[in-house]
A and B are shown apart, each in its own frame.
Chain A
């Protein structure tokens, strides 16, 4: 495995795609998955439980400074930004929303890019605003791999199209193509 982490961003509308991804990833995946998804600020529970139903990987809404371990998915908790901090740990933040969002996809992507550099896969899914576009650009700047869900199958295209405008994306995948790609990773 040449990669050290996968970071995925989308809004609540991309729930189905994320579920399919988590269902398709191998149980013994040797790297962590970081999920930064727009969600309701005041609803703390339910999202994790729903995502966990069909996931092959254990999903965690991490506490602050939690150690990042391979083979697990880390879901940004409601009303917190999720950063990748020194020493391969999660750091949480209640700083101002970015693009009206907390968690902000940009911030998770930027800090993941700074940590994992060219060993990072960044994936932007369907979403309703341009959060994530700048983050994915950072992934590219550090020579990480950039993937965007094919806008033609997105319910809302703003997020994916914003990312494509800002960055020359490595792969534009349908959900099925994305899953086949991720399954070949290990």
Chain B
């Protein structure tokens, strides 16, 4: 592999090496990363190589095929965690005022799906919102993760210290009723979120195409996940999301993720000027 040794952030991984790793995974496991966006995928691999102090991709490949537990750790490290809780507070205000009331009004129980979950930031934000609306018991929340390590992490409630301050500010801007610290405890320097908020959540182990896909979902939270896919995979995943949603459901993606006509996608209609909230076209 190409090694650029200097005081650099990380070594530079060649495209051939990247492809070799992707092919190895596809052959051995039920995961296909060949249509991930190349630059960010390469960066994730470089970060993993660096954190395990691996100089050669062959060593990584051997570890991947020979050690199923390492593969789960790898999958967790490969995925990009959410940046913070209540990212884009303006979205969460609309969730509270419009989206949740809309999906709740016509049914006793309603299904919400969070595919490709990694850090639990979106899940806990959602759970706090529903809790404050008195609807947490009515929501059937499904969280899909590629890695069992991600599931363990989310279930433990552990919360990255570096995200606490910005998340607290976001929570206030999102019109939270209290302070975020009401739901977070600090012990021995570690922040942990109140796991009673997620006790009824169903966790699903998914593949790289979000499968298995649950049916009849009212709301899909899938923010800043599409950016790690190339356009081929984006097209495929938008179809998957469309098929999972009920006709009166909603899809929420990141503010800078587009479902523009240049993808040839006419399955969704944007319903908010400021936020990336979509309804399926019926």
Contacts and interface: CB of A to CB of B under 8 A. Distances in A.
Interface of A: 41-42, 44, 61-67, 77, 79-80, 83-86, 91-95, 98, 102, 106, 111, 134, 137, 141
Contacts of A92: 227, 254, 256-257
14 contacts: A42-B166, A42-B170, A44-B88, A63-B260, A65-B37, A65-B230, A65-B234, A77-B255, A77-B256, A85-B37, A85-B38, A93-B40, A94-B83, A141-B4
B204 interface: no
Given A92-B257, A95-B40, 11 more contacts: A41-B166, A62-B256, A63-B256, A66-B258, A79-B87, A84-B39, A85-B37, A86-B38, A91-B40, A94-B224, A95-B80
Interface of B: 4, 6, 8-9, 37-40, 43-44, 80, 82-83, 87-89, 166, 169-170, 173, 224, 226-228, 230-231, 234, 254-258, 260, 262
The 8 A-B pairs with the shortest beta carbon distances in the complex, nearest first, are A63-B258, A64-B227, A94-B224, A83-B39, A92-B227, A93-B40, A94-B83, A77-B256
A81 to B, nearest CB: 9
Contacts of A95: 40, 43-44, 80
A64 B258 contact: yes
B37 A91 contact: yes
Contacts of B256: 61-64, 77, 80, 92
Nearest to B253: A64
Contacts of B169: 42
Contacts of B9: 98, 106, 134
Contacts of B260: 63
Given A44-B88, A64-B257, A65-B231, A93 B80 contact: yes
Interface majority SS (helix, strand, loop, mixed), chain A: loop
Contacts of B226: 64
A79 B231 CA distance: 22
Given A94-B227, A98-B9, A134-B9, A85 B39 contact: yes
B40 A44 contact: no
B5 to A, nearest CB: 12
A84 B258 CA distance: 17
A102 B83 contact: yes
A141 B2 CA distance: 14
Q: By CB atoms of chain B within 10 A, which of A65, A95, A106, A134 has the most?
A: A65
B258 to A, nearest CB: 4
Contacts of B258: 63-66
A42 B224 contact: no
A92 B82 CA distance: 14
B40 A83 contact: yes
Contacts of B83: 79, 94, 102
A111 B228 CA distance: 15
Contact of A63 (B39, B87, B89, B257): B257
B12 to A, nearest CB: 8
A17 B139 CA distance: 51
Nearest to B39: A83
A77 B227 CA distance: 13
A22 to B, nearest CB: 21
A133 to B, nearest CB: 10
Given A41-B166, A44-B88, A134 B173 contact: no
A92 B256 CA distance: 8
A134 B224 CA distance: 26
